[in-house]
Amino acid sequence: MSHTASLHNIPTPGGVDSDRRTWLLATTAMGAAAAGAVAVPFVSSFSPSERAKAQGASVEVDISGLAPGEMTTVEWRGKPVWILRRTPEMLADLKDMPDLADPESKKDQQPEYARNTERSIKPEYLVTVGICTHLGCSPVTLPEGTANTSVPADWKGGFFCPCHGSTFDLAGRVFKNKPAPTNLEVPPHKYVADTRLLIGEDDSAAA
């Protein structure tokens, strides 16, 4: 949920002259703008969730309405979690992706079921924390054919961190020679039904 302050709703304190009122309005506006600027690099959007979910409780998500190629964002432990439904073409591109730092996810940073090319339980769905493993900024999606000059001309689609330039493929695997030291985090999760996902728990242990 976003909150927008309206300057028209700020009451004028009794006895405050016009110059001071102008100063109050200006500083309020600058404060609101600064708060927005700080928030943008970290979180673009969250699906609504209860306070308890943000504090650590598991989050159940219905992904039945997610079309191939679409991605949704939910909140878990105060973090954005991306759920991407990949197309057959996206999955095919993952198999021969060159220049990855850890293509098989061998580094000890994610659940055992993420140690594969797709980094997922079901290849069709990527579930990953949308926070760069470098300094915590939130990457943006860049589709294949983007005009962004920060990625190579043969870019197959993936994620780009605008803060320091790290790039990740559609499995969240980081490319070589980038500031991010590891692939994007895969949170503990499991399927409680074909199209219902529980983020925060898996079959080995609760998060």
Q: What are the CB-based long-range contacts (under 8 Å, 24+) for 159-168?
A: 159/130, 159/184, 161/132, 161/134, 161/137, 162/41, 162/137, 163/41, 163/132, 163/134, 163/135, 163/137, 164/132, 164/134, 164/135, 164/137, 166/132, 166/133, 166/134, 166/139, 168/139
Q: Are 102 and 178 in contact (CB under 8 A)?
A: no
Cβ atoms within 10 Å of 81's Cβ, excluding its own? 26
Catalytic site residue from 3, 8, 134, 164: 164
| Beta pairing partners, 125 | 85
Q: Is 3 a catalytic residue?
A: no
Which residue in this structure is represented by tokens 């850890």? 102
Give the C-alpha separation, 34 to 48, whole Å.
Answer: 24
| Beta pairing partners, 141 | 159
Give the C-alpha separation, 131 to 203, whole Å.
Answer: 24
Cα 183 to chain centroid distance, Å, stands at 13
Q: Tell me which residues are annotated as active site.
A: 164
